[in-house]
Amino acid sequence: MSELSAARYGKDNVRLCKVHRDEATKTHTVTEMTVCVLLEGDIQPSYTDADNSVVVATDSMKNTVYLLAKQNPVTPPELFASILASHFPAKYPHIHAAHVKIITHRWTRMTIDGKPHPHSFLRDGAETRNTEVVCKRGTGLTVKSGIQGLLVLKSTGSAFHGFVRDEYTSLGETWDRILSTDVVANWEWRQFKTLDDVKNNVPLFDKAWEATRNITLKTFANDNSASVQATMYKMANEILVAVPEVNHVDYSLPNKHYFEIDMEWHKGLKNTGKDAEVYAPQSSPNGLIKCTVSRTKTSKL
């Protein structure tokens, strides 16, 4: 015998761009997003009995994204994701939970002749601002925020030594190396009871994103890193201090290796240790270091 133990479905890769036009200043602001909506609830018959009467069509979900974007602000993304996630359980009694993920793509205002241009933008990197919201009937909203694709590198100030050495070890110890990573950082907020609770805290979301980004960059640059593990732990702790409303911070940092090239074979040319100038960037394999740092249960806002 078998049973359907879990199910959710929805619309993925809904591309959305909204242009806000300030008539007073003649300045435009552009927001581009990719949205995913997944629903849970009393939808078992669509799987087990081929009964589509419980299915909210995924095309309807796509339309809902566009209509709610027209009728509501889409920034900060935590707010728009909460509006979307709250809509579905409120609209459809048999839907008990909605999962919404938003990826906000980077458009940076151009500076032309030393002045911000009113309606022209450039994409100055692959970095995205991400949000995930889950709205479950009776339990409120779980909100997670994130940064992804923030590529950083420093040419010194990183070491790695004192690690386990045994018959499997070939890696040499180093007291100075290039450190580079593609930052994925996420932070989970305290539980929001209602959509109004989210709306009342809107200013916190942009402030937290800015604080997290700044802490990540500053700690990466200034820390005399003993390891990726030690540096990411410092970052997460500082974020918890800076944003009291956040309960958990997690990082996923791939260690993007840059190896010295031994050129001794060519006329004794020195290019290792203190003489290293030319490196070979490595695409794979790479280290991958993750952690979650949580506020202790005794901590209070």
- Range list for CATH 3.10.270.10 in the chain: 7-138, 148-300
- CATH 3.10.270.10 is right for the domain spanning 7-138: yes
User: Model's pTM, two decimal places?
Assistant: 0.94
- Catalytic pick from 27, 29, 34, 58? 58
The catalytic residue among 62, 101, 256, 257 is: 257
Is 160 assigned a ligand-binding role in the annotation?
yes
* pLDDT exceeds 60 at position 301: no
pLDDT digits (tens, 9 = 90+) for 249-265: 999 999 999 999 999 99
Residue 228 assigned to a binding site: yes
Is residue 58 annotated as involved in ligand binding? yes
Concerning whether 48 is annotated as a catalytic residue, the answer is: no
Is the bond into 76 cis (omega within 30 degrees of 0)? yes
Which residues have C-beta within 8 Å of that of residue 33, sequence separation ≥ 6?
A: 15, 16, 17, 74, 77, 80, 102, 103, 104, 105
On whether the CB atoms of residues 184 and 147 are closer than 8 A, the answer is: yes
Q: Is 11 a catalytic residue?
A: yes
Q: How far apart are CA 83 and CA 65, in angstroms?
A: 10
Written as six digits, the tokens of 6 are 């879990």
257 classed as catalytic: yes
Given a cut of 90, whether residue 299 has pLDDT beyond it is no
The answer to whether the annotation marks 275 as part of a ligand binding site is no
Q: Give the fold, CATH level 3, of 148-300.
A: Urate Oxidase (3.10.270)
Q: Which of 11, 62, 101, 144 is catalytic?
A: 11
Identify the sign of the CA torsion 200, 62, 33, 26. negative
Please report which confidence band the pLDDT of residue 297 belongs to, taking 50, 70 and 90 as the band edges.
confident
- 132 has pLDDT over 60: yes
* Dmax (CA) of the chain: 78
